Structure 1
């Protein structure tokens, strides 16, 4: 058997709506039938009783007017014009009354009513026949006073009074018929109301259990869903939500179960992730702190390196200045060496001239025999001076001139001078060779000095380039030191952020810990 919870609320509402519509249709049908019957009764009442009652009212009014005009004739008997006017109005009213009676006879169904109306018409006709001659006589002035007229109208009164009685009886009968018709209509209405009430009671008796059961089938799952939602709101996700059925509340509970499982799974993942984040943030904080210390040490080392680079830059600048000075000195030395080479060349030429002069002196040695002893001394001095050849080579010419002068005065010592001159020539030859060798050496010195000058120039250029490079390195080290300082600040901020992340992870772990998740599925 299909469970009631297997039927959706929509289907139940449609069934309930169908039952309600069926009940409304039954009540409406019964009401329509009752209203139709009541309408027919009211139509009959309007066509007969009501119309007859109106006609009787007009008849009563007309008969009253007849009696009033009758009295007006009596009261105004002395005024013929008034009597004539009231007489005409009385005649018109009588004719009107006769017409009302004729019209009323068409609306009366019972024989009793028809008979009484016929008797009323006969009485009214007899009244008219008895009264009209009297009014004609009143107009002609045949009566002296009202008493005579009243006496003459005794026959008329004998007819009008029974006519009024018949009208009253007929009015009572018609009123009774109207009351009966109203009572019948009320009975019909009450009967229809009773039928409608019974129908409504039966419908309520049938619908109430269905409605109550439907409400219960909706409210109980909703209450269960509310309690489950409150537990979830209270961070308790351990409840196992179960519900049978396939209606909308069951579907809602199923969705609530899916939401709880999804939330529980997400929180379990968050809890695991929070643990990982906490561990990672702790490691990051420790690493950042270590990196901060190392960065600070690096910054300190860079500061020392920058200071050393500044000292090295200053030293290189001094070396560059010294190299430039050495280059200038080397250039000066090269010039001096060149000049020294030129002097040595002159000394060599001079030594050649001395050698030539010595040979000439050997030729004229016989002339200077007288001064051989002094020439020998001067020759000895010349030998000493020639041994000192170098920058002071020019002094040899002075000594030679002096020797020449002494040789002229020492002719008597020519023999001794001749042997000395021979030795001097040999020594001059040796000095010439030494001077030539010194000239070659001096040329090599000039070449070497020039090479030294070139090398010092190259060293000066390299030193200047090294000084510029070291200056750039110093600037780079300064920028690197600045960047290291900034990195140190960033590392400190990173360490602070890692510490804050660790605290937030701990807080998030505490918040997630407030949820009761049970064991992982």
Structure 2
């Protein structure tokens, strides 16, 4: 038997699977939403932080430039009447007030006029000097490394009226700028840097990057990064995610960038994205744990619920399996669940009750038919598609009634024919006995003729009388043999009729066997009767075949007897005509007597054969009559509709 999966397990499996999938989808959606929310929040904060930090740097730079502007506007540096010594003294005083690396004055060509000895003699080759010449305004130079110190130069024009007489340039330590970058705490490992328009790092917590003049494009090379860094160096404000790091250790970073007002620099902030994802990971883990607890709780609810759902279905399935095995006696367990399972079990109980009732009606009908009562009326309480069963039962009973009626009529005809055959056979025996007596008389006459042949003359009158008497006997014998011949013809005709009846009976038996097979187990009794009828029909056909052979042989013998009797009668006629000539033909009379003796002996032999044939015909006629009476009695015992 094929093994099926338990429906409770199926329900539990599918519900739990759906719950797990839904939980995973919800968790994924929540995690994805949290990640996207974190990305958006951090990027917004990065942009704001970059803008505010850039403004702070700009403010600090503004303080430096404002100091330099205040110094550059002092009369001591503008008045040409002040001696260089006085100017140098003022520079020394300023250095005592402000922590400069060096402070010097330069002419309009960039050569030092006076100032610290550590100051470069010329600044014409720096990047900020041409800009200062062009703008005739305060200029901040890019940080650079010199004499083991990172420095930041700020220059201001020395104007006498509208005319620029020179430039006052001071170099601050880079620490002043680094003090602004250091407070930018971005995560645990985040950082910030300042880059110029070419992508060179001019401000960084990692001072080595400034000393080595690292280029941001070279540090993180990729087509996507190049495109993103171009936004930074084009002095846009924004935030984005970027993949930074080496080829073997690239990670996604949150980045923010903003131009530093008053400069050609941009502030670039970056922090690893993973540092802000830990909360999401913990949240996802907690969500998974809660989902697992929810699934366990759901399983604790689903298993009993599925059991309550599947228990009626399992009971109905078990009852259906028992029904498929032919069990109609077991009661169906009804469940008052007020749902489809209650409808199912109630419908199953009604269906089994209907089947039991239908089978009982069929069993009753077939049992009645098997007992020989074909007049039964099939109950009419078959409904729906089961109505065809009642139609089939009605057709069977009608066919059996018609068949038995035909068998009754046929049995009567067979019985009558058998009686006629028996009567004819007995009449044939009587005729043959008479012929035997006649043949004995003829034999006695011939013997007397033989003994008295020498006394023909004396006994001519007696011979004439005997001859006349023999002629009458022969005529009687001819009449009897003609009657026997006609009787044999009638017997042959009756045999043919019985053979046809036997064939019809055999065909009827086959039809009855077919109908009994269709009736199944209930038609087995009728099948036995049909088989007996078929065997009886075959025996009758075999007996008729033998009878036909015997009748044919008897007919031939009778024909020969008729021919011989005719010859004998002719001889007796000749004897009657030649009685007066007996004296003249006495010598030939002995030969004639001898011939008569031989002919009579032959006739006696044929007569014995006819008697044997007639005896067998009588026996077979009696057997056929007995079988026909048995069939008639059986048919008369069957109750049929009229």
**Greater helix share, 1 or 2?**
1
Higher relative contact order (CA 8 A, sep 6+): 1
TM range (shorter): 0.3 to 0.5
Greater strand content: 2
TM-score scaled by structure 1?
0.37
Q: Which has the larger radius of gyration?
A: 1
Q: Give the TM-score normalised by the residue count of structure 2.
A: 0.31
